[in-house]
A and B are shown apart, each in its own frame.
Chain A
Amino acid sequence: MKQLRNIWLLTVKDLKLFASDRGALFFAILFPILFIVLFNYMMTGVMGEDTRLEINIATQEPAGGISYQLLAAMETKDDATLKPGEPKIIWLKDYEQAKQDVENKKLSGFIAFPKDFSEAVMIGYGTSLEVIFNPNNTQATAALEGVAQSIASELGAAQVVNDAVISLLVEKDLLSPGTAGDLGQSIRALLTRQATTSDVMITFSTQTAGEVKAENPANFVVPGYLVMFVFFTAAFSASQLVKERQNHTLERILSSSANRNAVLGGVFCGTAAKSLIQITIFWAVGILVFKMDMGVSPLAVILISILMIMVSSAFGVMLATMVKTERSASSIGVITSLILAPLGGCWWPLFITPKWMQFIAKITPHAWATNGFNKLLVFGSDFDSVVPEMLVLLGFAIVFGLIAILRFKTDAE
């Protein structure tokens, strides 16, 4: 009971320090929001509400392949027939030319059917659609435009492809409308393929995981940066404990009624409180300014947010018990945050990365958090489907916390 009160006192003190530290406030709250506004703005430029989303598709197959029939069925012949929100499908007849255009930046990107598409579909093997954009253009703008485009387009395209194939088969009497539903499922599965990379072109697999609700870039951008910045904040909190050690307040705290666990609890709760403020502001900005949709399960979004705060705070405490100087605390904090963020899918969706990266990503809590958010906000999944993510995040929090406790106990100085 007494130690709980001490944890509370330590937490309030941390928040007071936080509030009095303009640099920290700027870094933890204003800076991330500026960041999000900027990137969101850039993406909105690509997928603005007024301009209809255009999906460029090409095929590498020789004439006569299934992809030809698909494209013929999918191509938008008359803009006027498009329903609101439905993307316009443009058939790029020349694959090589399209690639050239991407390289020359005339085209921001396109989707291509592979050479073996028909074969793969006939035999029932998987194949992958490519999403091609110009990776040589290292400017964040172009890359992100490409990524944004790819998220929106591949989702939209997969949907269209799916529907097109089925209607095609039904139309040609190859399929009874009754079994069309089952086939739809199989084709979705077929479209879910791993990505492959080549030197010049980045090839994306398309994934369909449920209905595409909206192509609001904020649904992807905000959670990604939120995860990244919450971890940043936690990493910086690690330096708080080091600072306390250096300016001897830790010693003073330890000679008061607070014990070591209360000190760790205080760092944890202080960090968590800061992150909670951060995340609340993020979501508020996301919903009010960027019209984000919380998906079908806002509760799951909130739970994942909270679990993520627990993981990042525990990570901060663990880091705090491992470093000796304030400088090393902040540099390790920045480095881990900067490596883990892209690795964990904060900057671009993991499902567009190569298989090995997706595998490595699994060791980062970031990946589980962003995956959870993507599922909920981009793919419209429900609560149950993110339970694994929640459990893994909880596991991370427990492991980090235990390491912190063990380390801090053996460390009297």
Chain B
Amino acid sequence: MGEAFLAVKDIYKSFNGQKAVNGVSFTIDKGEIFGLLGPNGAGKTTVIRILSTVLAADTGDATVGGYSLRKNPAEVRDLVGVCPQDLALYEDLSALDNLIFFGQLEGLNGREAKAQAMSHLALMGLTERAKGKISKFSGGMKRRINLAIALMGNSKLLFLDEPTVGIDPQSRNNIFETIRGLRDKGMTILYTTHYMEEANRLCDRIAIMDGGKFVAMDTPQGLKRQIGDPDKVTLEDIFLKLTGRSLRD
């Protein structure tokens, strides 16, 4: 295990008395891809929103690269990049303008932002559409732009909240390779998904969250070993075993 880049300590968050995050603590090492799984409403997005300083936790704190969420939110913001679960794009601006705008907000100058934007567009296979308005894009293309924006800037920690929803297999593969490439360059990544296979392939460690709490946290192999031969059981088996089979509202 390396050094912890993200250390989360006892985070609680309620909305109108309803506990969304009910005491969560974990660490992610530098250069690690950490998968956060859980049924709908488990609290994954809320955790990410708290860690990206958009939402204030009721109690608890976290440090990113040594900076406290509560005491140094500005420094934390400089270190993190977020791909929100909901598309966060300006429909009336071009893909390039969206990327450049958010890149500049991350502190890049105009030229850097443009260069990064072009390389991310290439990565997402959308170079041809650079000047096209987002409102004219397909759902999957918007998703890819949404992810590309998260990569803008000089972030050291990425929160990717279901970045691959609605994306075709070709692009998805491309994205996985990109994410691995980033990890190899030292990027730390918190990744949420409902695709178990994806988490299994991509993540170094996985936490399973339910009802605002972590119910398990281990490597994919380790998790599977809990219920049998890791080569025979799937992550989905363990997920369903731990979180039950009842539907969530």
Question: Which residues of A does B touch, CB under 8 Å?
Answer: 2, 6, 9, 13, 16-17, 20-21, 247-249, 251-259, 412-413
Contacts and interface: CB of A to CB of B under 8 A. Distances in A.
Contacts of A252: 82, 84, 88, 102, 149
Contacts of B93: 13, 16-17, 20
Given A16-B97, A20-B92, A247-B87, A255 B52 contact: yes
Contact of A257 (B74, B82, B97): B74
B53 A254 contact: yes
B90 interface: yes
B54 A254 contact: yes
Contact of B87 (A17, A20, A248, A258): A248
Interface stretch (B104-112, B212-220, B226-234): B104-112
A-B pairs with lowest CB-CB distance, top 6: A248-B88, A256-B105, A252-B88, A255-B52, A248-B86, A20-B92
Nearest to A19: B92
Given A13-B101, A248-B84, A248-B87, A256 B92 contact: no
Interface in B94-127: 97, 101-102, 104-107
Given A9-B105, A248-B87, A412-B55, A255 B92 contact: no
Contact of A17 (B54, B89, B90, B105): B90
Contacts of B49: 251
Nearest to A12: B101
B74 A249 contact: no
A9 B54 CA distance: 20
Nearest to A259: B74
Interface in B48-75: 49, 52-56, 74
Contacts of B53: 254-255
Contact of B84 (A251, A257, A259): A251
A253 B101 CA distance: 10
Contacts of A247: 87-91
Contacts of B149: 252
Contacts of B90: 13, 17, 247, 249
A251 B92 contact: no
B54 A258 contact: no
A251 B159 CA distance: 13
A29 to B, nearest CB: 17
Nearest to A2: B107
A27 to B, nearest CB: 15
B54 A251 contact: yes
Interface in B161-198: none
B89 A9 contact: no
B78 interface: yes
B80 interface: yes
Given A9-B105, A248-B84, A256-B102, 20 more contacts: A16-B93, A20-B93, A247-B88, A247-B89, A248-B86, A248-B87, A248-B88, A249-B88, A251-B49, A252-B82, A253-B105, A254-B54, A255-B52, A255-B82, A257-B78, A258-B105, A259-B74, A412-B55, A412-B56, A413-B55
Contacts of B97: 16
A19 B30 CA distance: 43
B77 interface: yes
B159 to A, nearest CB: 8
A21 B87 CA distance: 20
A339 to B, nearest CB: 30
A11 B86 CA distance: 24
